[in-house]
Structure 1
Amino acid sequence: MTGVTGGPGAEDGWLLRRGTGEPVTLYAHGFGGSITDTRPFARGIDGSSAFLHFRGHGGRPSPGPRWDYAGLAAELDEALIRAGATRALGVSMGAGALARLLAGRAPAMPSRAAEAPSGPAAANPPGAGELAGAPPDGAASASKDGAGRLQKAALVLPAVLDRPSEAARRRGDVLRAAVERGDAPGLAELLLEQEPEEVRANPQARAWIEARASALVGTDQRDGLSLLQEAALPDREALRAVDIPVLVLTHEDDPAHPVDVARAYAEAIPGAELHILPPGSILWLGRDRIRDILTGFFND
């Protein structure tokens, strides 16, 4: 597991809460990411926020090699129930887990927003002491199916749908070889090669990618490299039954998150809203634009 301390633990369901009031939005990070990476997506969004650490991240142990999206979706579903969330945003790996849930979800339940006052959106990063406690009254008992509670969902930087690409498989082999050699600097360079030049020149971005490489080499997070060989769900046709608003958000020139994958999600999900931004926009270069898109979607 990663060496992060002071964050949510097993007793909290690896879940951290910020803000008060309804609706609750759950944020799920990508592979090698963390709560810290997802919290900017929550700024300006109405209600309260819940942030999840998946297996192998933020101190949460990996269950072992050969991760798959079914297991990640189960973790996400549990977090939705615990948080009492009715909306969710997933980034990359988190987007795949969320798509897996959407493909098998029951119809959305009525909102509880009319029964409880809404609070302001959290504008600041989550603090180590603000851990997830019990879910809102009735949240855990309202549904045994967290996905069935969902009323809105955002898929950010989806990496795969129902057919892993040969390029992704080759990329997985190269990354795995670097991990097995214990070559964190070499792995960092491989990860940087996938970023636009402006991002590669950003010291903050370089430091973040170097930290990701060190975690992959030095922790059980490496078990998740198998995801590069996995589909998020067996058949995209299952998404035709999705009956809630879905936003699909990506950017250009990102080999790990091909635009064609985002387009395929938008085509498969009825009424999905698709935004394709310039290279490097989502994590580093276009946060104001991202905030406008997300608040326009979730606060509508």
Structure 2
Amino acid sequence: MSAAFGQPPTNVVDGLEQLVTGSGEPVTVFAHGFAGDIAGTRPLGSGVTGRRVFFHFRGHGRSEAPPGPWTFGDLAADLRAVADRAGASRAVGVSMGSGALGRLLSETPDRFERIVCYLPALLDGVRPQAAVSRTARMLAASEAGDAAAIAAAIETELPADVRGTPPGDAYVRQRTAQVRAHPLAPQIGTLWREPAVPDVAALTGFTGRALVLGCLGDEVHPVAWAERWAGLLPRAELFVYDDPAVLWHNRRDLRERISTFLND
């Protein structure tokens, strides 16, 4: 059991670090993005009723890092293991986490009753250079273990008006400490050698309801990806923010939008 960086104690179960909050039904599992962590996804579930299960994918936090290469099928297996153990009927996927969620749904369309995809991942095709560069920059800084390099890599992801502010600096410190304590596994870089979802048409078989949240102006998560997800999932609602810094400028609305959808 471990408590770090101001969050409640976590447990490693079957090789995956997890944190459970709340109680009762329904149960919602939260899947973070690349280089993300439990602390970063917890705000998305602050208004969600029932039990909330947060976890670290392989190669993140204290979760195990099996030999690579890895695929999104491996991440989908991580997500499935956590969701099955908790009895989760709902899921929230952020960026890379949504890619794992999509892969799982392409294999088991009826696994979840409701899902939320925030800044959804590329399903197939070629990632933009901004995304490729971000991955390389973060993995290199993590491997070097240099605090300044890690902080610099993280700071580039902050909106200009947040850099150098107390909240921005606190975020950079927290994330830097997390990555230094638990470096990202280099195997993560092999994920994008093949599509997240090889058969995207399989997503049309999803039997539940979906909320897809995208934003304009995000070079790493083009809005076209969110539109494609919403077009493939049969019962999907799409909402697009006009500001790429959603977590900094529209956090309350984001949390309320997610909780309203999942609690309805």
TM > 0.5 between the two?
Answer: yes
The alignment partner of 2:162 has SS state of: helix
Rg: which structure is higher?
Answer: 1
2 CA distance for matches of 1:228 and 1:75?
17
Alignment counterpart, residue 252 of structure 1, candidates 216, 224, 234: 216
Q: How far did 1:84 drift? A: 0.7
Alignment counterpart, residue 203 of structure 1, candidates 146, 150, 166: 166
Alignment counterpart, residue 49 of structure 1, candidates 37, 44, 52: 52
What residue in structure 2 maps to residue 273 of structure 1?
Answer: 237
Q: Which runs of 5+ in 2 are unaligned?
A: none
What residue in structure 2 maps to residue 111 of structure 1?
Answer: none
Alignment counterpart, residue 10 of structure 2, candidates 1, 7, 10: 7
Contact 2:65 2:185 survives alignment (8 Å): no
1:172-231 superposed Cα distances (whole Å, 9 cap, x missing partner): 445555556555534543443343212334433344345545655775514223335553
The alignment partner of 1:204 has SS state of: helix
Of 202-211 and 92-101, the range deviating more from structure 2: 202-211
1 CA distance for matches of 2:36 and 2:121?
14
2 CA distance for matches of 1:281 and 1:88?
23
2 CA distance for matches of 1:23 and 1:299?
9
Letter in 2 for 1:104: E
1 CA distance for matches of 2:99 and 2:162?
24
2 CA distance for matches of 1:201 and 1:152?
38
Letter in 1 for 2:120: P
1 CA distance for matches of 2:18 and 2:139?
29
Distance 1:182-1:57 versus aligned 2 partners, 3 A rule: closer
Contact 2:215 2:242 survives alignment (8 Å): yes
Identity of aligned residues (%): 37
1:264 aligns with 2:228: yes
Of 264-273 and 252-261, the range deviating more from structure 2: 252-261
2 CA distance for matches of 1:285 and 1:92?
18
Q: How many residues were matched structurally?
A: 258
Q: How far did 1:290 drift? A: 0.9
Q: Name the Cα RMSD after superposition.
A: 2.8
What residue in structure 2 maps to residue 81 of structure 1?
Answer: 84
1:256-275 superposed Cα distances (whole Å, 9 cap, x missing partner): 22222111111121231111
What residue in structure 2 maps to residue 234 of structure 1?
Answer: 198
Alignment counterpart, residue 154 of structure 1, candidates 101, 110, 116: 116
Q: How far did 1:170 drift? A: 4.6
- Per residue, is there more strand in 1 or in 2? 2
1 CA distance for matches of 2:173 and 2:121?
21
